[in-house]
Amino acid sequence: WEGLARSADTLVILMATAWIENIVERVLRAGRDPETPAAAIASGTTPRQRVVSAPLAELPARIREAGLRAPTVIVIGEVARFRETLAWFEKRPLFGRRVLVLRAEGQQSELSELLTRRGAEPVPVPLLGFEVAEDREKLARALTTLDRFDWLVFSSANAVRFCAPLLKRPTPAGLRVACIGPATADAARAAGLAVHAVPHGRSLPEELAREMAACAPLRATRALFPHAQRAREDLPRALERRGVRVECVQAYRSFVPAGAGEALRVAIKEGLDAMLLTSPSMVDHLGTLLGERELRELADGLTLACIGPSTAGHLCEYGIQPEVVCERQSDAALVEALEDWFSEHGHGVS
């Protein structure tokens, strides 16, 4: 210990919490100044990171007071003096916030990754499963007679997912494809479809109609709109106002996966700061699992962030007003909007 204490300006000691009193005593006995800057970092580089700074002689007591537990790294030396100046990791708006990520089975990874990069702790609960519509034959008939239509309009990546296997290839030469957002457009391109119209403004249905009209006149054209079991009405209406004859067909339906209710209640019990909602179906399933009263009670203590006015409007039907409504249909935009809200409003973490 004498050699360590005197030979290096900075000491970094791993897994030292349980023996911190003994370690500090030996370093001091070996001649290190009791006022040497020191710090303890627990769960470093994660959303649960906690840091205690103190003069070396006081560090053990500060660690015990703060209740720091392993894994912890101890840093002893002048470099610890810069902790407050360089503490960028903990100063991010979403740092340490537990965010409930309600998504479909297998679709949590991108949103959770975006939250983690910003210092949040994502709590993924798969609240939706998807399967092809009950009347699969009706969907197949519509998709195999696309020569009757001028436009194929998708409002979700899931609609693309369930339609793609039923499409005849190549699609009719004059058929154009419209997608309500970038994620949906990416799914369509991945399925081998050329995308002709994607909205970029705030009023998505109206903007999509404008983008479609920029490609070709819409009056007296026909559009096929494959949708979930609860079809959004704003998109067909926006097209019909421009003279489009819209044929709606159910492409898929959602269900609550086994164990979703238990996973949701565990997440709520452990404490949350925010909840992300990405579709009207998600709101419905949440209401089914919790009931309207419990859903409103949960919402009172959280920051609610929705993708799109359709999801936000559906939440309002339950008597709940979301704090954040992201107009752009993308995970990145939703996380950015949540970060902006916390930057402006603050509040402590759970």
Same domain membership, residue 298 and residue 261 = yes
Mean pLDDT of 229-249: 90
Top-confidence residue, 64 or 106: 64
Confidence of residue 25 (pLDDT cuts 50, 70, 90): very high
- Give me the helices (H) in 151-258, please: 157-163, 182-190, 204-215, 234-240
Residue after which a domain boundary falls, among 250, 266, 296:
250
Residue 24 CA, distance from chain mean position: 43
Same domain membership, residue 206 and residue 138 = yes
Q: Does the pLDDT of residue 46 top 90, yes or no?
A: no
Q: Does the pLDDT of residue 225 top 70, yes or no?
A: yes
Domain count, the chain: 3
Looking at residue 1, its pLDDT comes to 72
In residues, how long is the chain? 350
Q: Which two tokens stand for residue 137?
A: 């034959």
303-342 tens-digit pLDDT: 999 988 888 998 999 999 999 999 887 889 999 999 999 9
The residue behind tokens 């999509």 is 208
Q: Is residue 112 part of a domain?
A: yes
Looking at residue 108, its pLDDT comes to 57
CA 133/CA 142 separation, integer angstroms = 13
CATH number for the domain spanning 55: value is 3.30.950.10
Top-confidence residue, 89 or 126: 126
Q: Which two tokens stand for residue 142?
A: 């519509």
Same domain membership, residue 284 and residue 218 = no
CATH number for the domain spanning 268: value is 3.40.50.10090
Same domain membership, residue 115 and residue 172 = no
Looking at residue 134, its pLDDT comes to 92
Same domain membership, residue 272 and residue 232 = no
Q: Does the pLDDT of residue 5 top 90, yes or no?
A: no
pTM of the model: 0.66
The CA dihedral of 338, 340, 346, 350, to the nearest 10 degrees, is: 20
CA-closest candidate to residue 75, choices 41, 46, 35, 106: 41
Looking at residue 89, its pLDDT comes to 73
- Domain coverage including residue 101: 92-129+257-345
Looking at residue 244, its pLDDT comes to 97
